[in-house]
A and B are shown apart, each in its own frame.
Chain A
């Protein structure tokens, strides 16, 4: 194969990889509104927080984060929610590891981790965030709830 074509193919591959990365970065961590969202059943989640079962939702908003074992972004996202929980007592962050809960992954159609479901005070899903979350996105979500 002529050198020019080989170089063109190699740079083409590089361009495809850069384009894929830019698209991925632009899409990840965005909150999408969910209309007619379902009611979350805390007993079914069997979520544990600070060693105790979670039995009630956040006063204003709950961030339900689904994580998995081999997920670096899940740790960063969980840390971010925990920090915001310190300054916003009206929010609650729940993390559920779905590595052993494929039933939940199927039920909520989770393809990537972290995936966050944003719940209102009654535990109804209002938005869905796929991928690592940015602080601004969380603050916007908190601001979108009025009580």
Chain B
């Protein structure tokens, strides 16, 4: 029951979250590579922990407080033209939360002894992060309504 013009938080440069997603997808691809061999599985866990931590910052504090967002603002954005339009910060925040759940599941299962799950969690999170960085794929657009319809998200 809205016309889409209700008050929204201050806009952010849409290229910021995509820059962060590019770093995240490289880290996750490295995680997959390391997780494929038992001798480097521990290192894979270490990288996945870093990625999970960065998802947690993005999910709870938003892109503006994120280290990648900070790098983007200080080093990348000054070299780019001004953005054509600003974006609502909530969709990328939701995507970070989904990333946190997927990567976090890999971390928890690894600690619980199911170390084989790590490579699948990293692989799934990689695909979402890569699609976001390379194709501007928006996870919130694609799955939020579906999750609500099957009752996984309740909104009053």
Which residues of A does B touch, CB under 8 Å? 1, 5-7, 9-10, 13-14, 16-18, 20-21, 24-25, 46-51, 67-76, 78-79, 95-102, 105-106, 110-114, 131-132
Whether the pair A17, B131 counts as a contact (CB closer than 8 A) is yes
Shortest B38–chain A CB gap in Å is 8
Question: Among residues 47 to 74 in chain B, which have CB atoms less than 8 Å away from a CB atom of chain A?
Answer: none
B42 at interface by CB-CB < 8 Å: no
Whether the pair B88, A72 counts as a contact (CB closer than 8 A) is yes
Shortest B31–chain A CB gap in Å is 10
Whether the pair A102, B149 counts as a contact (CB closer than 8 A) is yes
Known contacts A10-B32, A24-B131, A46-B1; decide if A79 and B144 are in contact (CB<8 Å).
no
Whether the pair A1, B149 counts as a contact (CB closer than 8 A) is no
Known contacts A6-B36, A21-B130; decide if A49 and B141 are in contact (CB<8 Å).
no
CB closest chain-A residue, reference B1? A46
Task: Report the bound CA distance from A56 to B76 in whole Å.
Answer: 48
Task: Report the bound CA distance from A32 to B96 in whole Å.
Answer: 32
Known contacts A20-B127, A102-B149; decide if A72 and B4 are in contact (CB<8 Å).
no
Q: Interface extent on B, as a size class?
A: 35 or more
Interface bits B87-108 vs A (CB < 8 Å: 1, else 0): 1101111110000000000000
Task: Report the bound CA distance from A113 to B4 in whole Å.
Answer: 13
CB closest chain-A residue, reference B4? A95
Residues in A with CB closer than 8 Å to B87 are: 72, 75
Residues in A with CB closer than 8 Å to B45 are: none
Whether the pair B149, A106 counts as a contact (CB closer than 8 A) is yes
Residues in A with CB closer than 8 Å to B91 are: 70-72
CB closest chain-B residue, reference A76? B85
Residues in B with CB closer than 8 Å to A5 are: 36
B79 at interface by CB-CB < 8 Å: no
Known contacts A75-B87, A105-B149; decide if A24 and B135 are in contact (CB<8 Å).
yes
Known contacts A1-B37, A21-B130, A24-B131; decide if A98 and B3 are in contact (CB<8 Å).
no
B134 at interface by CB-CB < 8 Å: yes
B142 at interface by CB-CB < 8 Å: yes
The residue that A72 contacts in the complex, of B3, B32, B138, B156, with Cβ under 8 A, is B138
Task: Report the bound CA distance from A51 to B3 in whole Å.
Answer: 8
Whether the pair A9, B1 counts as a contact (CB closer than 8 A) is no
Residues in A with CB closer than 8 Å to B93 are: 70
Residues in B with CB closer than 8 Å to A16 are: 127
B29 at interface by CB-CB < 8 Å: yes
Q: A7-B33, A13-B123, A70-B94 are in contact. List 11 more A-B contacts (CB 8 A).
A: A1-B37, A13-B29, A13-B126, A17-B130, A17-B131, A17-B134, A97-B1, A98-B145, A100-B1, A105-B145, A131-B141
